[in-house]
Chain A
Amino acid sequence: MSGMNLEAARQTFIEEARERLQELEAGLLALEHDPQDGEWLNAVFRAAHTIKGSAGLFELDVIVGFTHRVETALDRLRSGEQAFTPALGALLLRAGDHIGLLLDAAVAAQEPDAALLQAGQALLDELARALGEAPPPVPAAAGTLPERVERSGGAALGPEFWHISVRFGREVLRNGMDPLSFIRYLGTLGRLLRVATVTDGLPALADFDAEACYLGFEIDLDSPVDRDTIAGAFEFVADDCTLHILPPRSLAAQYLELLRALPEDDLRIGELLVNSGCLSRVELEQGLRRQAEVQPSPPLGHILVDQHGVEPAVVDEALRRQGQVRERKAASARFLRVQAEHLDALIDQVGELVIAGAAVALLAQKHADTALEEAASTLSRLVAGIRDSALQLRMVPIGETFVRFQRIVRDVAHELGKEITLQISGEETELDKSVVEKIGDPLMHLVRNAIDHGIEPVETRLARGKPASGHLRLDAFHDSGSLVIEVGDDGGGLDRERIRAKAIANGLITADHELDARGLAELIFAPGLSTSDSVTQLSGRGVGMDVVRRNVESLRGSVEVHSTPGAGTVFRIRLPLTLAIIDGFLLGCSGSRFVVPLDSVVECVELDTAGAGVCPPYLNLRQHALPLVCLRELFGLPAGGGARRASVVVVQCGGRRAGIVVDELFGEFQTVIKPLGPLFAPLRAISGSTILGSGEVALIIDIAALVQLAAQRRPVLPSRSPA
């Protein structure tokens, strides 16, 4: 395998190992609630086992070694030798974290440093103590030895090593796997006594395909590991190879059965086994003679169990594993791993396609050729379809991000001596992957904040007549073209007096400044305002709510807070579904073009501007006052030539409405969002730009900011007064 490919496989391994770690963590957390649940325990064990198995393939020995001990502990839990306790669960969680750190080191292609190794050893020691000083790992085979001796009735024992017989499937090489790497890995589990390459599978010259795999191997391995570990070495090709493993001291009869199960000529393989000392020549000859008499051959599994070579449990385990492989195969058929850059390139190209399509449509319109226009309209419909499907490719459910918080809430609550339950809903809600990646940190801050400052200590809660256990909820849902994430707690709510005092102390507001509840709440997003007096490990690290707001706004989103004294606080993050392309509504004002997201448009009404072009602050829309924003005034555009009809586009965001006063309406427009340069960063109410079919630039209006401006009647340009 070339270096490139190995690196790619390694990346895939690390990604998958992280997923397994998440499963491990989720399982351990679930066990804390229900220690008897065997399903979860199995899931945790499988996760650890898979990490160990695949780490071995990449020769990440430290991970293999550490995970092996964790797996041993889990196995004791599984077998019921050891009961699951919260303390043990917490220890195992930390062990999982340690594996994560080891993976980090592996990502950087570094050997773990001494401190990390030491931490790992400390954890293992602790684990050993928690398990009541477990004896050093004993190979499973040795443990079952006396029993087997008895059963075999004193017959002569076979050789002292494992015999592994493997035939690789045709497609193994093409699937990027090299049988050599599996054998090399076996070499790390113990000593390879003998490797015999079975070449009988090589076809006639005419049928030979240089990229197919035809080889098989008969391997003798001297190793203290158990059968699972050896089988685990072949996990990556489990459904693409035929594997027989005979444990040490297997009887001659078992080797003979193996012979029968193999596709090659009995004599040839028999010779191999005789040569490696698994069978004596006499045994081989007798066996082959007898074999001819035995009809028909029962499944190999039965033979092995009948001869006590394998415990029935082992066979069950093998069957379960096969089922698992099948499941995984089904899952891999449903999902396809695609490199993120490929997707991004596709989206970029679709973006250009949308712009080019708009240019074609414009030209068609200009030429007033009906056939051309029709063709252009079909084209734009198809382009819209492609755009939607392309964007859909990048959509991922937010659940994965949410699940991580189970652990954080648990740990942080423990640390603070609080009892908190986390309720997650809307995890199936989808949003753009690039948004998901960037929303983790702000969410983390809000969650920690809620636990640290929001939810009161148990005594206070009881005194206030609340249940001792605090309640935190994470919720996600779609709302008019954007995604809303809510972080809510049932704590004490924001302490408005304290915020006010702090804000005055910091010079954010003057002492006589009156603010309504909403305005006060907004203050917590101001830089330099922390209401917490105590600097705990969790907060007071200089990262405040202002950073949360900035992060969210950099995603073209907004964050707001609703607080009820004594009853709790809800932070609501509103995010665009995608960062790339939207359905827009094109507007014109004084010759400039603007785009608003179509999803936010409620309706369009005509505005009667009898009063010489000055637009009124409010419009009476069906007996409701609608605040108006005149784009010409807002952006200081030159007055358009001549009196004309103005239109009001009614937009809605977060339950609030506003009217945008413009000169012209151009209708729907597929908008490829291009970010604005840093020069425009202080501009509020503009979130980006786009290129029209004609090559002109149109600005995209940030509806959330605009609605806010309409309510506050603030100018769009930053004020020059000292902040």
Chain B
Amino acid sequence: MIELHRNGQRLAIAGELTIYHAAEVHAALVPLYAETELDIDLSGVSEFDTSGVQVLLLAKREMAQAGHALRLSGHSQAVLDVFALLELGGLFGDPQLLPAGGAPA
């Protein structure tokens, strides 16, 4: 299951951001590259895998090349785990707020 909610320059992704839905999310993101500023809310992402990472990396790269800004926010635990494992925080450069439960492993 994946749900995409767009509200102006804000896109909320909820559900499994995995190989099963990566193509769908990618297709939804491409038209948004044109936005000068885009905020992707990841708080509802329950599962996150390599394909999800790639979709976000590509969006970041494409938008940066056009001089647009892509911000990720509300990283869910699933996202935080992967970001921590692959050390992606620096690549995206967004502040990652740790949930009150403690730091990701």
Chain A interface residues toward B at CB < 8 A: 1-2, 168, 173-174, 178-180, 183-184, 187, 192, 194-197, 199, 202, 205, 208-211, 213-215, 217
Nearest to A177 among chain B residues (CB) is B50
Q: A2-B16, A178-B50 are in contact. Are A197 and B23 (CB under 8 A)?
A: no
- A178 to chain B: closest CB distance in Å? 5
Asked whether, in the complex, the Cβ of A213 is within 8 Å of the Cβ of B18, the reply is no
Asked whether, in the complex, the Cβ of A2 is within 8 Å of the Cβ of B54, the reply is no
Contacts of A183 in B (CB 8 A): 85-86
- Taken together as a complex, chains A and B put the C-alpha atoms of A241 and B29 apart, in Å, by 29
Contacts of A2 in B (CB 8 A): 16, 18, 20, 47
Ordered by A's residue number, 10 sampled pairs between the chains whose C-beta atoms are within 8 Å are: A1-B18, A1-B47, A168-B50, A178-B19, A178-B50, A183-B85, A205-B30, A211-B19, A213-B51, A214-B54
Indicate if B22 sits at the interface (CB-CB under 8 A): yes
Asked whether, in the complex, the Cβ of A194 is within 8 Å of the Cβ of B87, the reply is yes
- Taken together as a complex, chains A and B put the C-alpha atoms of A1 and B51 apart, in Å, by 10
Asked whether, in the complex, the Cβ of A202 is within 8 Å of the Cβ of B49, the reply is no
- A569 to chain B: closest CB distance in Å? 59
- A201 to chain B: closest CB distance in Å? 9
Indicate if B34 sits at the interface (CB-CB under 8 A): no
- Taken together as a complex, chains A and B put the C-alpha atoms of A215 and B91 apart, in Å, by 14
- A378 to chain B: closest CB distance in Å? 44
Nearest to B51 among chain A residues (CB) is A173
Contacts of A180 in B (CB 8 A): 49-50, 82, 85-86
- Taken together as a complex, chains A and B put the C-alpha atoms of A210 and B51 apart, in Å, by 6
Contacts of B88 in A (CB 8 A): 197
Indicate if B26 sits at the interface (CB-CB under 8 A): yes
| Total residues of chain B contacting the partner, CB 8 A | 28
- B32 to chain A: closest CB distance in Å? 13
Asked whether, in the complex, the Cβ of A215 is within 8 Å of the Cβ of B53, the reply is yes
Contacts of B86 in A (CB 8 A): 180, 183, 195, 197, 217
Contacts of A209 in B (CB 8 A): 23
- Taken together as a complex, chains A and B put the C-alpha atoms of A575 and B61 apart, in Å, by 66
Contacts of A197 in B (CB 8 A): 53, 86-88, 91
Asked whether, in the complex, the Cβ of A208 is within 8 Å of the Cβ of B20, the reply is no
- A428 to chain B: closest CB distance in Å? 41
Nearest to B27 among chain A residues (CB) is A210
Q: A208-B58, A215-B50, A215-B53 are in contact. Are A184 and B22 (CB under 8 A)?
A: no
- Taken together as a complex, chains A and B put the C-alpha atoms of A281 and B96 apart, in Å, by 31
Partner of A195, one of B53, B54, B87: B87
Asked whether, in the complex, the Cβ of B50 is within 8 Å of the Cβ of A195, the reply is no
- Taken together as a complex, chains A and B put the C-alpha atoms of A1 and B49 apart, in Å, by 7
- Taken together as a complex, chains A and B put the C-alpha atoms of A1 and B19 apart, in Å, by 7
- Taken together as a complex, chains A and B put the C-alpha atoms of A692 and B87 apart, in Å, by 68
Contacts of B62 in A (CB 8 A): 205
Q: CB-CB contacts of B34-66 with A at 8 A, as 1s and 0s?
A: 000000000000010111011101100110000
Partner of B22, one of A1, A179, A192, A210: A210
- A41 to chain B: closest CB distance in Å? 38
The 6 closest A-B pairs by CB, nearest first: A210-B22, A210-B26, A210-B23, A197-B86, A178-B49, A173-B19
Contacts of B69 in A (CB 8 A): none
- B26 to chain A: closest CB distance in Å? 4
Contacts of A213 in B (CB 8 A): 50-51, 54
- Taken together as a complex, chains A and B put the C-alpha atoms of A178 and B19 apart, in Å, by 9
- Taken together as a complex, chains A and B put the C-alpha atoms of A697 and B16 apart, in Å, by 52
- A605 to chain B: closest CB distance in Å? 66
Interface residues of B in 81-96 (CB under 8 A from A): 82, 85-88, 91
